[in-house]
Amino acid sequence: MEYKNFRFEVDGDGIALIIWDMPDRSMNVFTEEVLRELDKIVDRVASEEGIKGAVLASGKSTFSGGADLTMMQKLVGHYKAERLKDETKATQSLFDNVGQMTGLFRKLETCGKPWVSAINGTCMGGAFEVSLACHGRVAADADFKMALPEVKVGLLPGAGGTQRVPRLTGAQEALQMLTTGQALAPKKAKSMGLVHEVVPAEDLLNTAKAMIRNGLKPVQPWDEKGFKLPSGPVYSAAGANLWPPAAAILRRETQGNYPAATSILKCVYEGLLVPFDTALRIEQRYFTQLLRGTEAQMMIRSLFVSLQELNKGARRPDVPKKEIRKVGIIGAGFMGAGIAFVTAKAGIPVLLIDRDQAAADKGKAHSATLMDGRIKKGRSTAEEKEKLLSLIQPTDAYEGLADCDLVIEAVFEDSNIKKETTRKAESFMRADAIFASNTSTIPITSLAKNASRAGNFVGIHFFSPVDKMLLVEVIRGEETGNEAIAMAMDYVQAIKKTPILVNDTRGFYVNRCVLLYMAEAFNMLIEGVPAAMIENAAKMAGMPVGPLALTDETAIDLAQKIMRQTVRDLGESAVDPRQMQLIDTMVDKHGRFGRKNGKGFYDYPEKPAKKHLWAGLKDLYPQKDPDGVDVTELKQRFLVTIALEAARVMEENIVTDPREADVGSILAFGFAPYTGGALSYIDGMGAKAFVELAAELETRHGPQFKTPQLLLDMAKSGETFYERFDPYGSLKTKAA
């Protein structure tokens, strides 16, 4: 019998070796076809007398990335269409469909013959669940991860993961793993009882087969009479010490914004009270409920489907690819040094230039420090450090730019300094080389006027810290050519970050949104809202960092420079004078620049003491009574002001693809991931409801909540952003 996605062979001992090796994919994933084939294979193993057991292994360098979530999108799409006819019937159909994988894995573990999973590399989601359904699990002793990360896309492990994990390890460890999507190294998985053996990669298959030859029982622990939960009964003294605190901690960590995390807690709790097959039905019920919800649908779309599409170059212009053999970076400060690190880490040689050799050497030393940190955590080696550092050439001379394919300036955020840098660099660069500015707010078109080849001038806007932030904005100026855009995107892809294509404007996309997030916090401070309430409300809304803490991280004096540059360029009316006064007071009167000088909206004492809000904030403005402040409204103000700006950016044709607006808002500044992004936040509640909310906020708090005409039109038509700006229709070719 032939299979498309598997190879099937039986050795002399009667052990079936099933090699999962999808021909059209770089990584194995569960698709409908794979599930059908595996179902037939399970039947074959169970029915053929000569087969004593089976080993499931991968023919690729990794085991599997889990399920293809586009499968889930199709199920949801079918459900939405069918519920218009009969919601009860549509829900039952969805419930039955999501249970197919659960049923298959249960069939595998009860087929009467032993199965062993031989895990050679990354094993995620459904792949880890099928491994948990196997009676034995052997993992290679290598640097890879295993996880059930479904919570990160608004789902729970829906093929038995929420029930098998707490029956193999303690409930507390299971909850930690499941509610966070925690990734496990092989040895950690073994210590938790989720893997039986960790062996050298070359011994993987032999060890797996030996487990079967040595009499591995084809029965799971929970199917044996007298099975006891590793952490004891739910209704016990230990359970009383676990479940109430677990619920409280989850509430504290998620603020109730993530239904999937709450569902996982309920699923594990309820499942451990009943027999295993009943527990699987409970899991199936919660999984169905999540799929019907807005959060999962938006998170799957933005954090899985759209993210993958953008990482694969969905917005890259259709021009030939050019090899990037060497990158020049001008400016070896914190940003430039970070860019040098990620470039060298990608194996690309770097020329790192600064005003003198000492400054350039200091920039290179930043990479050494980052590598030392990775080595200390066991994520890198001394040899890898030396290799990376050998790729960075620090210098104060521009002559080396002659053989660079791409040059990135990361000098101070001052148009005059950037002008001088551009002209000097161009005098040494090849005519076909691309010049990129890492400016955070200054329009690329204005900077390109300093260049003799404006078509080769592009913006590549990194976020701080460069080594950790996953997003990069590629900025198209009025004269920027497609070749420059393509090379910028190829470079971003090479350094393993996600590019979004943004047309030129002051602040581009991300900073326009971020600056309004901070500005609304400044408004609240000026109104007398206690600083702690501001920060906590933002976190309760789903933001990972409060706006005052974020301002400190980016530097308050930088905010001052941006405001002053904006006034110079656009006039005094372009900046709220009350906010300008606040920032001037912080910087000029109190010398509070942010984290970099240990004094900002927060104080930063020496470790081990933790940062805390500066007590002097309460003296800047008369304080409101906290009991009289509506926290729900504070949360809305943060989310709505960002979403409105994202809508304006779409209206102004600055961002033309909603995928980029959503993914960009999450990766760049952590816009409430449970919403699916700034535009999905609007789509999730509907344009009409959003416009009504914005109007209420405008009445109470000012013109920053004025609704753009685009949203008014969408409210009337009932459109969503993904309908009006269809990324799979006309917009697919706009980048070219």
Catalytic residues: 461
30 within 8 A of 68, measured Cβ to Cβ: yes
337 within 8 A of 352, measured Cβ to Cβ: yes
Helices (H), 134-226: 161-168, 171-180, 186-191, 204-213
736 within 8 A of 658, measured Cβ to Cβ: no
Q: How far apart are CA 655 and CA 667, in angstroms?
A: 16
Cβ-Cβ contacts under 8 Å for 564 (sequence gap 6 or more)? none
> What 3-state class would DSSP assign to 598?
coil
DSSP 65-103: --B-THHHHHHHHHHHHHHTT-HHHHHHHHHHHHTHHHH
Q: Is 107 exposed, middle or buried (0-12, 13-18, 19+ CB in 10 A)?
A: middle
Structure tokens at 348: 């690309």
Give the type of residue at 281: R
28 within 8 A of 58, measured Cβ to Cβ: yes
Q: How far apart are CA 139 and CA 148, in angstroms?
A: 16
Taken in order 228, 234, 239, 244, is the CA torsion positive or negative?
Answer: positive
Helices (H), 84-202: 87-98, 100-109, 126-133, 161-168, 171-180, 186-191
Q: How far apart are CA 536 and CA 546, in angstroms?
A: 7
| Length of the chain as a residue count | 736
| Residue 346 CB coordination number (10 Å) | 18
Taken in order 41, 46, 49, 52, is the CA torsion positive or negative?
Answer: positive
Closest CA to 408 of 359, 498, 321, 337: 337
Closest CA to 579 of 603, 563, 565, 592: 563
310 within 8 A of 684, measured Cβ to Cβ: no
Measured between alpha carbons, how far is residue 447 from residues 22, 205, 419, 438, 475 in Å? Answer: 48, 59, 7, 11, 12
**DSSP letter (8 states) at residue 727:** T
Question: How far from the centroid of its chain's Cα atoms is residue 469's Cα?
Answer: 10
Q: Is 334 exposed, middle or buried (0-12, 13-18, 19+ CB in 10 A)?
A: middle
Structure tokens at 614: 């500066």
In what order do the strands lie in the sheet containing 434-437?
A: 392-395, 350-353, 327-330, 406-409, 434-437, 457-461, 471-476, 498-503
DSSP 282-336: HHHHHHHHHHTSHHHHHHHIIIIIIHHHHHTTTT--SS-------EEEE--SHHH
> What 3-state class would DSSP assign to 475?
strand
447 within 8 A of 457, measured Cβ to Cβ: yes
**DSSP letter (8 states) at residue 588:** I
